[in-house]
Amino acid sequence: MAAALAGSGIPTHPVDVGALVELDVGAPAGGGGSVARAPDGRVVFVRHAVPGERVVARITAATARYLRADAVDILAASPDRVQAPCRFAGPGRCGGCDWQHIDIDAQRRMKEQLAGSHLAHLAGIHQRVVVERVAGDVGGLEWRTRVRFAADGSGRLGFHRHRSHAVEVVDQCPVAVPEVSATGVVGARWPGATSVEVHAGSVSPNRGETRSSATVVARRRGHGGPVRPVAETGLALAPPLPPPPGSVFREVAGRWYRVGAGVFWQAHRGAPAALVGAVLRGLGPRPGERAVDLYAGVGLFSGALATAVGPTGSVLAVEGGKAACADARWNLRDLPQTSVARATIDAGWVGRSMGPVDLVVLDPPRRGAGPELVRALCRARPRAVAYVSCDPAPFARDLRAFLDAGMAIASLRAFDIFPMTEHVELVAILEAPGRGTA
C-alpha cells in the first residue's frame, strides 16, 4: 500500500487504534457510519459524524483494509447536525441509535442514498426510492413498542455499547413508546438476568377492551426459575396479562392480532398498518384469488389478504416458528378461507407444497429470501409478488434474481420505521409480464 501511495502527497505511516486523525466525511455507509479516507489511504467508517463534515476521529478498530472510528470533535459541522435527544447517545455510549445527532429529514435522505447505492451496485437498478414517513412517532421518537434491555452483572438495565458486550446503563429510552417506560422496569434491578424484554400492546379485545398493557419477559444466565426484579424506585409492572401468558394484542386495519412473547412483530407502532397498506395497494388482490404468505409470522398480511380475496379465494400462511403459528391460527380463526402451515421455507418446499398461486407475500428475515427461493417462486408463475425487506443489500440481490427470472418491478417503496438508525423497510411489487394488477 505504501508503494502505491508514494508521491501522492498522502502520508503513508499506518494509523493505529487509539490514534486521533482529521477526516473529511463522505457518503453514509452500512453499519451506521459514513465513509472517510485515513492518512494512510485506508477507508474509515466513521460513527457520530454527518456527511460533509470535517471531524477529529478516534480510531476504534483496524484491519488491513479498513478502519473504524468515532467522531470526537467536530471541526466543521453540517447544517443537518442536531443535538441528540438522548443523553446516552454518543461515542462510547449506547449503541442502539446510530443517527440521533442528525436531523430527521436528513436521515431519510441518507437512507434513500444507501438504498439507491445497493440497488445500483447489486441489482443494476438505477431508481430513486423515496423514504416515506410512517405515522406513529414524534419527530423520530416514541415509536418502539418492543424494547430488549440488556442487564449488566449487577442486574441494572441498559443497552450494549457499539460492538461491545459492555452495558450502558440507562434510566429511560426516548425512542420507546411511553407504555414501555410506564412499566418501571428500568427502575429495578434484575439479579441473574441477561436481558429484559418489554412489549407494549393492548389488553385482550374480547370484551371491547383497548386498555394499554405490556409484557415483561426476563431471561437469566444459566438455568433456573424466573428472574424476579428488586425494586429500587417504585416498580409499576403491567396489570395481569391475558392468556396465554406473555401475549399482547395489536389492532391493524380493523383486525386484532395476538402476539406472544418472543414472537416477531414490527417494533414501530405505525409500521404494521403502513406495510399492510403498501402490500394491498401494490398487489391489488381480487376476489377468488389464491395467495400465499411466506414467513407469515402471526398472520398480519394473511388477515388483510383473506378479507380482500373473499370467501371464494384462499390464503395459505406459512411460518416456521411454532409459537407464531399458534398465534396465526388464533388470529385467522374467523376466516375459513385461510390455513396455516408450519414449514421450513425453501425452494424445495415451494416446489413440493405450494402449488398454483396468484399472489405471494414474501417477508423473510434480514438475510433475505435468497436467489434459489426466488427462482422457485417464479417457476410457480404468480401474477404478482410483494417482497418486504429490512435490509437493502439482500433486498437488491433478490430483486436481481426476480428480474433475471422474468418478473418486472411495478413499484418500489421505502418506509422509515426505524428512525434514528440507518435501517429502512423496503417493499417491492413484482409482476409477471401480462399478469399485472391492472
Alpha carbon of 278 to those of 46, 86, 130: distances in Å? 34, 32, 14
Known catalytic membership, residue 94: no
Domains with residue ranges and CATH for the chain: 2-81 (2.40.50.140), 146-242 (no CATH), 268-431 (3.40.50.150)
3-state secondary structure (DSSP) of residue 365: coil
The residue among 326, 331, 279 whose CA lies nearest residue 305 is 279
DSSP string, 310-356: -TTSEEEEEES-HHHHHHHHHHTTT-TTEEEEE---SHHHIIIII-S
The residue among 387, 396, 323 whose CA lies nearest residue 360 is 387
- Amino acid making up residue 128: R
Rounded to 5°, the CA angle 147-252-142 comes to: 35
Other beta carbons within 10 angstroms of residue 16's beta carbon come to 10
Residue at grid coordinates 436481558: 195
pTM of the predicted protein model: 0.90
Catalytic, out of 86, 97, 325, 390: 390
Alpha carbon of 178 to those of 172, 184, 269: distances in Å? 10, 11, 12
Q: What is the pLDDT along the chain (438 residues), one digit of tens a residue?
A: 333 334 434 444 678 999 999 999 999 998 899 999 999 999 999 999 999 999 999 999 999 999 999 999 999 999 999 999 999 999 999 999 999 999 999 999 999 999 999 999 999 999 999 999 999 999 999 999 999 999 999 999 999 999 999 999 999 999 999 999 898 999 899 999 999 999 988 766 665 555 677 888 888 876 655 677 775 444 444 444 343 457 889 999 999 999 998 899 999 999 999 999 999 999 999 999 999 999 999 999 999 999 999 999 999 999 999 999 999 999 999 999 999 999 999 999 999 999 999 999 999 999 999 999 999 999 999 999 999 999 999 999 999 999 999 999 999 999 999 999 999 999 999 999 876 554
Rounded to 5°, the CA angle 274-387-301 comes to: 50
From CA 45, how far away is CA 29, in angstroms rounded? 7
